[in-house]
């Protein structure tokens, strides 16, 4: 995101609203947490290959 802590602390409620809406939209578009995680079979293949 590239914001310094002082920049976050100086945000107005409107800034935080825009930030939160953007964050949520970006994460919803990706399919949510774990959407790009490997399947069980892919995981087992990685473990077998790399230990």
pTM of the model: 0.49
What pLDDT score was predicted for residue 11?
A: 94
Cα–Cα distance, 40 to 37 (Å, whole number)? 9
27, 35 Cβ separation under 8 angstroms: no
What pLDDT score was predicted for residue 1?
A: 60
Q: Give the tens place of pLDDT for each residue, 10-46.
A: 999 999 999 899 888 887 777 767 778 899 999 999 9
What the block records as the tokens of 32 is 């949510």
What pLDDT score was predicted for residue 46?
A: 95
């Amino acid at each position: 995101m590239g914001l310094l802590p002082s920049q976050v602390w100086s945000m107005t409620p409107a800034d935080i609203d825009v930030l939160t809406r953007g964050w949520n939209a970006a994460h919803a578009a990706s399919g949510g947490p774990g959407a790009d995680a490997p399947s069980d079979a892919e995981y087992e293949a990685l473990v077998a290959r790399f230990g």
